């Protein structure tokens, strides 16, 4: 599979869809209704209520939407990596890695607020990477801030991604104080509309605007299968980081900065996990994009292809076991 997806062929788009369907077909065999958590914010609750009304609490429709979101996230990430030359040659490894990574934990195949945040933040990362060569940065910075602010209205702990916005301005742009203010203005813009809605619905109180943030350590894995899934996330990530570091001197400047930004994305995503302890692993999906990109590097760079193939097939077989037989 690695050899197939390492090539940039038009047929690989179809193969990626089939690959995703094989790994994620149990989503349709055992559909799950979404569960509200206290961290889910106004915008997500509105979306979920609308979908509940539309689908009449039919779980299979949520599985279809979830599959569509995960597949579009994979293809979007793949397109971004190819467009910005994150890996030396265009290929489908980032998309393949994203499908693989998001199948290692079963909770990541549930419809949830963090899943929607993931779509928003993949787009934001694309725009942040584009800042390096942007000649009209003010509008781009505002849009990034706007979408980061919207992500917090989907899932409150996503406020940790505000750090990513500021780091992107430090790394990708020369310091201009107006860009920082524009980014903050974009971030707060969704809250202006929220204040108006709360005011006209007679719910305008500080407790409805100021998030209750507490930092807690995530729960230890409750089963051997979750432990193995986490291990299969971390080990290729470390291997990919090693090869990225070894090849830094061969990369263009904006590609080096993009990898640095991706690493900060991971740190911010861990911050999302640590804010207000969740009762499941659904919120961990915000780490899927940086995990998948470093996994793709672990599959791309090694000259000896035996190790990448072993890692890939270990992940693939593990996913089939937990999804079809556990």
Distance in angstroms (rounded) separating the CA atoms of residues 87 and 113: 30
Distance in angstroms (rounded) separating the CA atoms of residues 155 and 44: 7
145 or 222, which is more confident = 145
The radius of gyration of the chain from alpha carbons, rounded to an integer in Å, stands at 20
| pLDDT at residue number 173 | 84
Taking residue 59's Cβ as centre, other Cβ atoms within 10 Å add up to: 16
| pLDDT at residue number 65 | 94
Q: How confident is the model at residue 278 (pLDDT cuts 50, 70, 90)?
A: low
Beta carbons of 231 and 102 less than 8 angstroms apart: no
Token pair for 279: 């009762």
Mean predicted confidence (pLDDT) in 115-138:
88
Taking residue 204's Cβ as centre, other Cβ atoms within 10 Å add up to: 14
Q: How confident is the model at residue 304 (pLDDT cuts 50, 70, 90)?
A: confident
Ramachandran sector of residue 304 (left: φ over 0; alpha: ψ -120 to 50; beta: rest): beta
Mean predicted confidence (pLDDT) in 138-153:
92
Q: How confident is the model at residue 277 (pLDDT cuts 50, 70, 90)?
A: low
Question: Per-residue pLDDT tens for 192-232?
Answer: 888 888 878 777 777 767 767 777 777 677 789 889 999 99
| pLDDT at residue number 138 | 86
Per-residue three-class SS string for the chain = CHHHHCCCCCHHHHHHHHHHHHHHCHHHHCCCCCCCCCCECHHHHHHHHHHHHHHCCCHHHHHHHHHHHHHHHHHHHHHHHHHCCCCCCCCCHHHHHHHHHCCCCHHHHCCCHHHHHHHHHHHHHHHHHHHHHCCCHHHHHHHHHHHHHHHHHHEHHHHHHHHHHHHHHHHHCCCCHHHHHHHHHHHHHHHHHHHHHHHHCCCCCHHHCCCCCCECCCCCCCCHHHHHHHHHHHHHHHHHHHHHHHCHHHCCHHHHHHHHHHHHHHHHHHHHHHECCCCCCHHHHHHHHHHHHHHHHHHHCCCCCHHHHHHHHHHHHHHHHHHHCC
Distance in angstroms (rounded) separating the CA atoms of residues 155 and 284: 12
| pLDDT at residue number 319 | 93
Distance in angstroms (rounded) separating the CA atoms of residues 321 and 326: 6
Distance in angstroms (rounded) separating the CA atoms of residues 301 and 290: 17
| pLDDT at residue number 274 | 87
Question: Per-residue pLDDT tens for 13-32?
Answer: 899 999 999 999 999 988 88
- Tell me: pLDDT of 74 over 90: yes
Token pair for 145: 């801030």
Read off the pTM: 0.92
| pLDDT at residue number 179 | 87
Cα distances from 101 to residues 91, 119, 221, in angstroms, run 17, 15, 17
234 or 8, which is more confident = 234
Distance in angstroms (rounded) separating the CA atoms of residues 213 and 275: 6
Mean predicted confidence (pLDDT) in 234-260:
90
Task: Give the contacts of 46 (CB within 8 A, at least 6 positions apart).
Answer: none
């Amino acid at each position: 599979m690695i050899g197939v997806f390492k090539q940039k062929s038009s047929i690989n788009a179809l193969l990626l869809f089939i690959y995703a369907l094989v790994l994620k077909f149990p989503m349709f065999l055992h559909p799950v209704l979404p569960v509200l958590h206290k961290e889910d914010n106004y915008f997500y609750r509105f979306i979920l209520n609308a979908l509940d009304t539309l689908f009449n609490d039919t779980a299979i429709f949520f599985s279809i939407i979830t599959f569509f979101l995960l597949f579009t996230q994979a293809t979007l990430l793949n397109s971004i990596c190819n467009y910005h030359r994150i890996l030396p040659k265009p290929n489908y490894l980032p998309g393949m890695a994203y499908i693989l990574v998001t199948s290692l934990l079963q909770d990541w195949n549930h419809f949830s607020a963090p899943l929607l945040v993931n779509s928003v933040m993949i787009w934001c990362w694309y725009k942040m990477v584009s800042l390096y060569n942007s000649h009209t940065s003010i509008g781009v910075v505002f849009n990034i801030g706007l979408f980061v602010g919207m992500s917090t209205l989907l899932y409150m702990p996503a406020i940790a991604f505000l750090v990513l916005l500021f780091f992107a301005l430090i790394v990708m742009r020369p310091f201009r104080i107006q860009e920082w203010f524009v980014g903050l203005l974009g971030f707060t813009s969704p809250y202006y509309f929220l204040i108006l809605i709360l005011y006209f619905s007679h719910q305008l109180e500080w407790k409805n605007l100021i998030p209750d943030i507490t930092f807690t350590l995530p729960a230890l894995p409750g089963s051997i299968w979750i432990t193995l899934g986490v291990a299969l996330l971390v080990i290729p990530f470390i291997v990919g980081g090693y090869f990225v570091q070894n090849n830094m001197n061969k990369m263009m400047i904006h590609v080096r900065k993009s990898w640095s930004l991706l690493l900060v994305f991971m740190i911010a995503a861990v911050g999302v996990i640590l804010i207000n302890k969740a009762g499941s692993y659904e919120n961990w999906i915000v780490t899927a994009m940086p995990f998948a990109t470093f996994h793709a590097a672990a599959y791309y760079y090694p000259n000896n292809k035996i190790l990448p193939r072993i890692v890939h097939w270990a992940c693939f077989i593990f996913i089939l076991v937990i999804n079809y037989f556990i």
